[in-house]
Structure 1
C-alpha cells in the first residue's frame, strides 16, 4: 500500500480542527501539516520529540 504524505497531512489537520491531537512520524509530514495549518491560520502547540512531532490544538 502506498501512503500519500499530502493526504496523510490533510487528514491530520482535520483531526486537529476537530479538537484532537495529531502525531507526525516524519519531518516531511510535519512540514506539510505546518503548511496546511498556516494557510488556515490555525494555531497549535508543536512538541518535537525524537520519535516525531505532536501537534496539539490551542484553545481560543
Structure 2
C-alpha cells in the first residue's frame, strides 16, 4: 500500500494554487491545512465545498 504524507500533499496543493491552478482536497484534515496555508500566504481563493470534498480556486 502506498501512503502519502499530509504535509507533502499540502505542499503540492499550495504549489498548484500559487501557480494559478485549482486544487482539490477530499479529507477534512487536508482541507483544514490548506485553508491555514491560504490564510498564511494571504491568497485570494474561492472555496467551493461539496459533499465529497473541496475545490480551492484562485480568484484571478
* TM-score normalised by structure 2 residue count: 0.91
TM-score normalised by length of structure 1 = 0.91
Size of the aligned set, in residue pairs, is 59
Residue 3 of structure 2: aligned partner: 2
RMSD (CA atoms): 0.8
Residue 47 of structure 1: SS of its match in structure 2? strand
Gaps of 5+ in 1: none
* Consecutive aligned runs of 4 or more in structure 1 exceeding 4 Å deviation: none
Unaligned runs of 5+ in 2: none
